[in-house]
Amino acid sequence: MYSEILAPVDLAHPETAKRMVTEAKALADKTGSKLTLLNVVPAIPGFAAAELPAGTIKKMVSDAERELRKLASDLGLDKSARTMLRSGKPHSQILQVADEISADLIVIASHQPGIEDYLLGSVASRVVRHAKCSVLVERQLD
């Protein structure tokens, strides 16, 4: 049914990430699919980055990479899933990676929408609107 599943992970919400990745793993196991975990470190505008202490962005990236690998290891995926780290706008990077790996399913978590989501749109809603493949939204009711 699926051959490539992409699971974008928001490391700022570890419990949500664990539930969503567990769901993606179950689907991958059931269908014999390859699973890719992706974390996107939001890009910091140049004017703001210039004000940060030296090495801050590099540390953010290395911390995110370590956390993503730990999540994969904690869930028993360190050998069976790929991990990827990107920097930029989360929805754009998710869609780009989905195209690069020819994903036929994106499993993404979504939270209860707030007013800011109605005005700006959430990452999950942007992915749903623009993905070229199926998207499974793992709804998180907080």
First-residue to last-residue Cα distance in the chain:
31
Residue range 90-132, pLDDT digits in tens: 999 999 999 999 999 999 998 665 554 444 458 888 999 999 9
- At 94, which CATH number? 3.40.50.620
Residue range 9-25, pLDDT digits in tens: 999 888 989 999 999 99
Whether residue 72 has pLDDT greater than 80? yes
Q: Measure the CA–CA gap between 27 and 109, rounded to whole angstroms.
A: 15
Residue range 48-71, pLDDT digits in tens: 777 777 777 788 889 999 999 999
Beta strand pairing call for 81-88 and 34-42 = parallel
The alpha-carbon radius of gyration of the chain (Å, integer) is: 15
Q: How many domains does the chain have?
A: 1
pLDDT for 120: 43
Whether residue 142 has pLDDT greater than 60? no
Q: Read off φ and ψ for residue 42, nearest 5 degrees.
A: -60, 135
pLDDT for 51: 77
What is the H or E stretch that residue 108 is in?
Answer: strand 105-111
Range of the structural domain that residue 17 is part of: 4-140
Give the sheet arrangement for strand 34-42, strand by strand: 81-88, 34-42, 4-8, 105-111, 134-140
